[in-house]
Structure 1
């Protein structure tokens, strides 16, 4: 019979070469469209889950791939407002390139409301009022109704600036067109009640407060000089001192729980433990005091030694003496 042909077995060197080729082969990067699709999918999941900080980071990743993506820019602006980052939101609206405008916006000014709201939250009421007036003027020129969000913001600005009558009128206007049993309706009623209370106090409330004062005080209000600041500070300091001293007198002693007291310790009789028991002996105050005593005693004995001359004479005088 002819000998069988032996099949060559792969050597270890050939196996290592195949593995090295497989490892060294670089992965093909995903196309930009697929990467954007994955990022938008994770962005929606993060927003639905309420993870706004991670969602902002995802928006930044999208904008690195496509800086002019209107959806990512609008979403990032919304997330910045939701996370109270009003300075960053204002910087986005005031960027030189600006944000891309939506289809229904005019002249590319589609984010003026976000800009006004950021100014309002940053307590820049004058700038917010100026931008708000320009928005209302544009709506009137175009023959359109002013947006409800603009009216809400105008009412809040008026309330903060002390124009309670203007805020009251705006909230009445919004209440007439709001849907009953809605969250907006309840918010408007709350704000309307606050504005009404301020108006009542300004019109008649302070008069009732004056009538409640004694006649000796109310008769001298018109001619009395303004109070001095030093007297007010002294009175406040004395009031604080008396208030802090009063609880100390009436404070009841706390009851000691015997379960927490160690064995052999009688509360109020056994002396408390040394507060420095956890420190090293070299770091305790008693250790330093002991060293001072030792140094002081040694110095006294050394200072009492006689000079060298006197010692030599005394020793010399004793040479002739014989010991008995």
Structure 2
């Protein structure tokens, strides 16, 4: 008999599921057989994030144990950010090395925490590399401009290395 993870993996490999509600249903069915399967819980958390159900995603990640929390650090950081737990989101994102998504979450959390210098620096670094996701380049430029504007408005323009337009 196949385990819950094997059944879920088989289902997801054979299907072209773009509907995150369907993925969530498949995860829930799989979890009836294996309640603590980390891969299924991770998949469920991602589906919940895609459905903008940040509280539910965070609950799944928190209740899934330390292995899940460490294996899904980016997802956990993002869920915390979306739930307004900015300092914790920033701390977790900082602990993720060499991950563009983590830098983006860290930059956003820094901005909302009014650490405009850190946010601007992160966005400048992100702007230097190719954005693999459609429209991310525009988001980075807009957010970099906003962070730089905040530095000027808070009379910290000396922290900007150069004036640059992001148009």
TM-score, length basis structure 2: 0.74
Aligned residue for 2:89?
A: 128
Aligned residue for 2:23?
A: 55
Shift of 1:192: 1.1
Aligned residue for 1:8?
A: none
Q: 2:116 aligns with which of 151, 156, 164?
A: 164
Q: Is the 8 A contact 1:43 1:59 kept in 2?
A: no
Task: Give CA deviations for 1:23-61 in whole Å, capped at 9, x if unaligned.
Answer: xxxxxxxxx43996489437864723x2x2232122111
The yes-or-no answer on 1:115 pairing with 2:83 is: no
Work out the CA distance in 1 between the residues paired with 2:86 and 2:21: 28
Q: Is the 8 A contact 2:7 2:30 kept in 1?
A: no
Q: Is the 8 A contact 1:158 1:167 kept in 2?
A: yes
Shift of 1:180: 8.8
CA pair 121-84 structure 1, distance change in 2 beyond 3 A: same
Work out the CA distance in 2 between the residues paired with 1:182 and 1:148: 14
The yes-or-no answer on 1:41 pairing with 2:15 is: no
Worse-superposed segment, 193-202 or 56-65: 193-202
Q: Is the 8 A contact 1:171 1:188 kept in 2?
A: yes
Work out the CA distance in 2 between the residues paired with 1:73 and 1:168: 34
State the structure with bigger RCO (CA 8 A, min sep 6), 1 or 2: 2
Aligned residue for 1:98?
A: 65
Aligned residue for 1:190?
A: 142
More helix by share: 2
TM-score, length basis structure 1: 0.41
Unaligned runs of 5+ in 1: 1-31, 102-107, 137-144, 205-324
Shift of 1:127: 2.6
Work out the CA distance in 2 between the residues paired with 1:45 and 1:83: 19
Matched positions, count: 156
CA pair 191-44 structure 1, distance change in 2 beyond 3 A: farther
CA pair 199-118 structure 1, distance change in 2 beyond 3 A: same
**Alpha-carbon RMSD:** 3.3
Aligned residue for 1:76?
A: 44
CA pair 180-87 structure 1, distance change in 2 beyond 3 A: closer
The SS at the match of 1:174 is: helix
Shift of 1:70: 3.9
4+ runs deviating over 6 angstroms: none
